[in-house]
Amino acid sequence: MIIVNLDVMMAKRKMSLNELSEKTGISATNLSILKTNKAKAVRFTTLDAVCSALKCQPGDVLEYEEDLK
């Protein structure tokens, strides 16, 4: 499964959720869905905005982990 490591990257950049929301223009509700791994899909525009606000690569935010059954 794909894991979103948004909180790790936000901690590295010392940015709060509201701050990121202001910078990217994505609502805090949607960012919290993304952060808590509830999201089912991510738009490229969202990923673009997040990466430009956090000055990182998509690989820094997303991670693949094999499913444990």
Partner 1 sequence: MEKLSVSALSKLLRYALYFVFCLGLFVTPFIHYLLHTFRNTVMNTEGFEEFLKFSMLTRGNITSGEYYSMVAEVYLLGITMLFIVSRLIKICRSTERETPFEKSTYRALKHIAVASFISVVFYIVKFLFFPAAPGLMLAFTFIMTGLISSVFSQLIKKAAEIKEENDYTV
Q: What does the binding site for partner 1 look like in residue numbers (CB under 8 A)?
A: 26, 30-31, 33-34, 38-43, 46
> Whose Cβ is closer to partner 1: residue 21's or residue 69's?
21
Q: Give the C-alpha distances (Å, rounded to integers) separating 25 from 8, 19, 41.
A: 20, 10, 18
Query: Token pair 């894991």 is at which residue?
Result: 3
> Whose Cβ is closer to partner 1: residue 45's or residue 57's?
45
- Closest approach, Cβ 3 to partner 1, in A, equals 15
Exposed / middle / buried, residue 9 (Cβ in 10 Å: 0-12, 13-18, 19+): buried
> Whose Cβ is closer to partner 1: residue 42's or residue 56's?
42
